[in-house]
Amino acid sequence: MRRILWFRRDLRIEDNPLLSLEGEVLPIFIFDTHILTKLPSHDRRVALIFTLVMRLKKALQSRGLDLKLFWGTPEAIFSHLILLGFDEVAASGDYDAYARKRDTEISRMIEFHYLQDTYIFAPDAIHKEDATPYRVFTPFYKKAKTLYTPDHAKSFSPAEQKLIQTDYEGITLYDKDRMRKLACRLESLGFTPSSVELPDPQSLLEALPAILKEYETRRDFPALGATSHLSVALRLGMLSIRELLRFLARQEAAGLPTQAFFRQLIFRDFYAYVLYHFPHVEKENYKYPFNGIEDKEAYEKFCSAQTGVPIVDAGITQLLQTGRMHNRLRMICASFLTKDLLLPWQWGEAFFARHLLDFDTASNVLSWQWSAGTGIDPQPYFRIFNPYAQSKKFDPDGRYITRWLPQLKELTP
């Protein structure tokens, strides 16, 4: 069997189902111009992904394999690759609208072998008694718990694989019918390096037992650093979800509480599941036709941390400076944009999508729809987070606010 192994959101060699398939292989990564040409040249995520791709290439080389790099549209690249004669392309599931359209087009050119990797459950593995998909998280979570077995955490062992020899060196660009070879540098793609901190999944796992002890009671307080910070590693597949589940099982066996944390992982699954079954919610309200008021000035102020509401401006400042934002802050800022400024949730979603290092269409869109009250869940449109009450409750001594807005230090009680 001759296979293309297409790495996308699984940038690791450990516990990767792609490496468990025996035979002759050509591992590839595509810098997709459908996505990249829309991004600014200083985009932090592209710099991060580029570094991870180069690491993956080295790790594969140490196993006698390699990672061939391409720059262009997946359709153009596959239309050339298939001329080398392959039996199939194997890739892990990716379920947003663009990913599904892309994969459907490629599956018309070559046999497509989907693997289950990114999430705990395949998107069609859970359904109601009447075989329709769940729309509400709590019953989905209950069902997921009853269906979950240790098999969901089973590791994939590497198989015997032989690299198919090709002359793809550097970054191969297909421009219409011309092939060009570019140097393996971020600048070759038109992006500039940026000083983004690389997550280290193993040290984050080492820190997790201490976090799990009080996760349920401390996770909502942004100044405490009481969450795992694993979202970027999970988003880019630097850490296998199964390795995390095995780690959690060991912590549970050692007597640590893990259920509250597991519940959040199921939230991640749930959002991917909802987007898979109800793809139109990526752009449209699921309920209520109110689409917001298009006030560009208010939006500019929100996006530049100039609203005058300290907790909101602190959250946006953290996002702009680091590409990260605590979950409580994401909820407060999203509520403020949709319920106080009455702006379209799609504007807020697009702003987060531009800046979040862990940006994931499913989690981002559905969390924004939740905040706007327009989503699939029962969250009503009239439930509003008061940002000042939220500050008092979750940042009582102003530590989070003054970390990001030090100019307010003298004003804290």
Q: Which residues bind to ligand FAD, rule: CB under 6 A?
A: 219, 227-231, 234-235, 264-265, 267-268, 271, 326-327, 330-331, 334, 352, 356, 358-360, 363-364, 367-368, 371
CB of 291 to ligand FAD, least distance (A): 18
CB of 271 to ligand FAD, least distance (A): 5
CB of 45 to ligand FAD, least distance (A): 11
Nearer to ligand FAD, 21 or 46 (CB): 46
SS3 content of the chain, % helix, strand, coil (to 5): 50, 10, 40
Nearer to ligand FAD, 148 or 359 (CB): 359
Which residues lie across from 5 on neighbouring strands? 27, 90
Nearer to ligand FAD, 173 or 357 (CB): 357
d(Cα 155, Cα 157) in Å, to the nearest integer? 6
CB of 63 to ligand FAD, least distance (A): 28
Nearer to ligand FAD, 312 or 356 (CB): 356
Nearer to ligand FAD, 90 or 274 (CB): 274
For residue 408, give Cα distances in angstroms to 301, 313, 319, 405: 18, 11, 18, 6
CB of 325 to ligand FAD, least distance (A): 7
- Give residues with Cβ within 8 angstroms of 263, minimum separation 6: 141
* Residue 137 φ/ψ, nearest 5 degrees: -65, -50
Computed from CA positions of residues 41, 235, 119, 381, in that sequence, does the dihedral angle turn out positive or negative? negative
Instruction: Name the packing angle between helices 310-322 and 327-335 (round to 10°).
Output: 120
d(Cα 381, Cα 279) in Å, to the nearest integer? 21
CB of 214 to ligand FAD, least distance (A): 12
Nearer to ligand FAD, 161 or 227 (CB): 227
* Residue 271 φ/ψ, nearest 5 degrees: -65, -40
